[in-house]
Amino acid sequence: MLASGAVLTGLGVGLSAISGEVFRVKPHQPLPVPAKHSGDKQSEIDKLKTAISNVSQELQQLAKKAGETSAEIFEALEMIVQDESLFDAAITEIETGWDAPTAFVNAVETFAELLSGDPTFEERLADIRDLAKRVAANIHGISLGLNLPEEGRYVIVGEDFSPADTAQFTKAVVGVITIQGGPTSHTAIICRSKSIPAVVSCAGAAELVDGVQVLVDPVGDRVVVEGKEADATQAISFVAKSAEPIIPVRANIGSLEDSIAAATTAAEGVGLFRTELLYLQSTAKPSKEKQIASYAEILKAAPEGPIVVRTIDAGSDKPVPFLDMPKEENPALGVRGFRLVGPHRDFIVDQLESLEEARKLSGREVWVMAPMIALTSEAIEFAELARKAGNFKVGIMVETPSIIYEIPNLKGVVDFISVGTNDLSQYLFASDRLHPSLGTLLNPWQPALIRALSVIAKECEAVSIYSGVCGESASDPAFAVVLAGMGFDSVSSSRSQVGAVRTALSSLDKSQAHDIYQAVLAAKTADEAKSIALAKLSLLAG
């Protein structure tokens, strides 16, 4: 049992502290991604029959427990799960090679699409999709629920949380602690975007038990047992001294919802639109018509300013089912990002042509960039495709160490670069960005990352290529100041951080930011680099 006042260190996410009661989440497996079966169709059909019958029983139980109104919903869902035409549609999917869980999800999706547009059914679509998940989970023998409390103020503690887990966060979740995970983990990204204070990579949290009161103190990179909010480490309260930040602050988006939300911030356009996030569940390739419609909607909704769209960055941590990618021993080092131009050139061209149509429909300024570029020849190939497809500024992401040394050769090839510090850290430090226990190597304050970034900014300046940073590191107000001090032309942050990053960048001038960056270069550890920057910044703030 941890004593009152015990301090557990980790990596903080967010700028405000919160105290609440610990709720330990039991670990469970995530739902596997869509997959093909090994050839035994009958066994897939049998698995599906059993799962349907199990889920049907689960729904009957739920209907019994639920109140009158909800009971009707469960009864309706039970009828749907037993529907013969749905079962036949799933068998057709199995015939085309999908395994039983994927086949049922696909069949439900087709069914859902038929019903969309009917206002009485629109509301039920989420329930119907949830039904498909229940069947898939049953086949895989996975329990889906985190069983989080709905009321109260809880700090949830777990190993790490997947996208399916974070989707279940209730309003009672006021803070998050993960034992593993790092600053680029899904948990960190979601907590930052939802403004939930979190401390990740906090090994000591393994000893926290249900019911204990804790202070989640992200600015202090710590959790304090029985700590009070009044004891929290204060974030530097930057005071804007000018109306405009020293470099533009854009927003990162991945959906129409994000685009709409980003437009409510002071972001100057979008610095990273992750297009693959639209397709993480798509087992069928989206047509050009569908792409044009969704891109146009997102472009129209986006905050004023240029919109930097990244072509599909599938593979590794972002599997896209319809691209049917081969299983690889080491996917982070495999055929991913722009390397897909080999097997899936047609989709990248479709995307660029659809973006051009969407650009015209929306009347917006669109920049396009390719992910995971390692060679100048790849940048040339992408620039040719992009310029042939439309009227864009053309760029690449800098995420591999090799391309840093190619920047002089990019003169005249690309108009801009954008640094993805999440992947750059992964490849620079040879540390899997989702690895549960390598958070320290992925800390953006690591001196080697800071030096690599400063080389990128200088090389770009030397050949007049516009440079930005769109990795998670650009969501940290103090780090954004260091980036501006290095000479980057813009940053793009998680939308919840746009305001804080903008204020920090409006609180000083470029030469002060440059001095802070110079001072940080003396650091030998990540902690030292951060402390130097914070000490300098607090002298300027207020």
Which residues, numbered 461-480, are part of the site for ligand PEP (CB under 6 A)? Answer: 470-471
Q: Which of 182, 303, 395, 420 binds Mg ion (CB under 5 A)?
A: 420
Select from Mg ion, ligand PEP, none the partner in contact with residue 497, using the beta carbon and a kind-dependent cut-off of 5 to 8 Å.
Answer: none
Is residue 186 part of the annotated active site? The answer reads yes
Residue 350 binds ligand PEP (CB under 6 A): no
In 3D, which of 334, 337, 348, 308 has the Cα closest to residue 474? 308
- State the nearest-atom distance from the C-beta of 530 to Mg ion, in Å: 23
Which contacts of 429-433 are long-range, i.e. CB under 8 A and separated by 24 or more positions?
432/332, 433/182, 433/184, 433/185, 433/317, 433/332
Q: Which is nearer to ligand PEP, 174 or 460 (CB)?
A: 460
- Distance (Å, rounded) from C-alpha 541 to C-alpha 247? 18
388 or 451, CB closer to ligand PEP?
Answer: 451
- For residue 348, the minimal CB distance to Mg ion (Å) is 16
Residue among 138, 422, 496, 507 that touches ligand PEP (CB under 6 A): 422
Q: Are strands 213-217 and 18-24 parallel, antiparallel or unpaired?
A: antiparallel
Q: Any bridge partners for residue 224, and if so which? A: 7, 215
* 215 contributes a contact to ligand PEP by CB under 6 A: no
460 is catalytic: no
Q: How far apart are CA 121 and CA 531, in angstroms?
A: 55
DSSP 3-state of 153:
coil
- Residue closest to 474 by CA, chosen among 496, 457, 458, 491: 491
CB of 471 to ligand PEP, least distance (A): 3
* 222 scored as a contact of ligand PEP (CB under 6 A): no
Spatial separation of the C-alpha atoms in residues 351 and 311, rounded to whole Å: 7
Q: Which stretch binds Mg ion (CB under 5 A): 61-69, 327-335, 349-357, 413-421?
A: 413-421
**Min separation Cβ 349 and ligand PEP, Å:** 21
Position 423 contacts Mg ion (CB under 5 A): yes
Selecting among 344, 460, 470, 514, the annotated active-site residue is: 470
The one catalytic residue among 186, 202, 344, 435: 186
Q: How far is CA 463 from the centre of its chain?
A: 32
The contact mask relative to ligand PEP for 164-203 (x = CB under 6 A, - = no) is ----------------------------------------
Determine the 3-state secondary structure of 484 from DSSP. helix
Least Å distance, CB 472 to ligand PEP, is 7
Minimum Å distance from CB 532 to Mg ion?
28
* C-alpha to C-alpha distance for 503 and 497, rounded to whole angstroms: 10
CA atoms of 275 and 280, how far apart (whole Å): 10
CA distance 227 to 8: 11
H helix or E strand, kind and range, residue 512: helix 510-520
Q: Would you give the binding string for Mg ion spanning residues 391-410, x where CB under 5 A is met?
A: --------x-----------
47 vs 495, beta carbon nearer ligand PEP: 495
Catalytic (active-site) positions = 186, 470
